[in-house]
Amino acid sequence: MANTVQFDLVSPERKLASVVATEVQIPGADGDLTAMAGHEPTILSLRPGFLTIKGADGEEQFVVTGGFAELSADAISVLAEMALPTSEVTPEILAELVSTATQAHETAAVDTQHETQKLLADLIHIAEHLGFDAHL
């Protein structure tokens, strides 16, 4: 079928998903985007957020913490630094990520502070979305 793409989600430690998808929602660094078949070849970096894959057998959702995506007309690969199915994300994991990001933000140089601030805000947004207390 022409309107599907091969989607791969890989992390350094393992391959998390390899499915045929109709559309993939990707949290890009400059804003979310939905990639479908026939997308212009693009490389974009990710911010922490939700990655949603819609395929023939329903929807799958992952939480990614950064990395990048390679889009082309017939294939989408997401190379995530850390990715977990949303159902496996626990408050503890997020709390740890948030505390690392907070620490990085507090020690960051002034000119990079807006970046660490953004990272932190993205992580807190994930936590709030999942209904966890972000200020653990």
Partner 1 sequence: MPNLKDLKNRIASVKSTRKITKAMQMVAAAKLRRAQDAAEASRPYTERFNAVLGALSASVGGSDSAPRLLAGTGKDDVQLLVVMTAERGLCGGFNSSIVKLAKTRIAELQAAGKTVKVLTVGKKGREQLNREFGALLIGHVDLSSVKRLGYINAQEIAKDILGRFDGEEFDVATIFYSKFVNVVSQIPTALQVIPAAYEANDDDAGALYDYEPSEEAILADLLPRGVATQIFAALLENAASEQGARMSAMDNATRNAGDMIDKLTIQYNRSRQAVITNELIEIISGAEAL
Residues that bind partner 1 (CB under 8 A): 8, 10-15, 28-30, 40-45, 67-68, 70, 72, 77, 79, 81-82
Q: How many angstroms from the chain centroid is the CA of residue 19?
A: 17
Residue 37 or 79: which CB sits closer to partner 1?
A: 79
> What is the enclosing helix (H) or strand (E) of 6?
strand 5-10
Residue 45 or 99: which CB sits closer to partner 1?
A: 45
Scan for tokens 């807190």, then name that residue.
124
Residue 36 or 82: which CB sits closer to partner 1?
A: 82
Residue 96 or 128: which CB sits closer to partner 1?
A: 96
Identify the CA nearest to 52 among candidates 21, 88, 80: 21
Q: Smallest distance from the beta carbon of 128 to partner 1, in angstroms? A: 25
Q: Left (φ > 0), alpha (ψ -120 to 50) or beta: where does 31 sit? A: left
Q: Smallest distance from the beta carbon of 10 to partner 1, in angstroms? A: 5
Q: Smallest distance from the beta carbon of 134 to partner 1, in angstroms? A: 22
Q: Smallest distance from the beta carbon of 47 to partner 1, in angstroms? A: 11
How far CA 31 is from CA of 20, 42, 49, 71, in Å, comes to: 24, 14, 10, 15
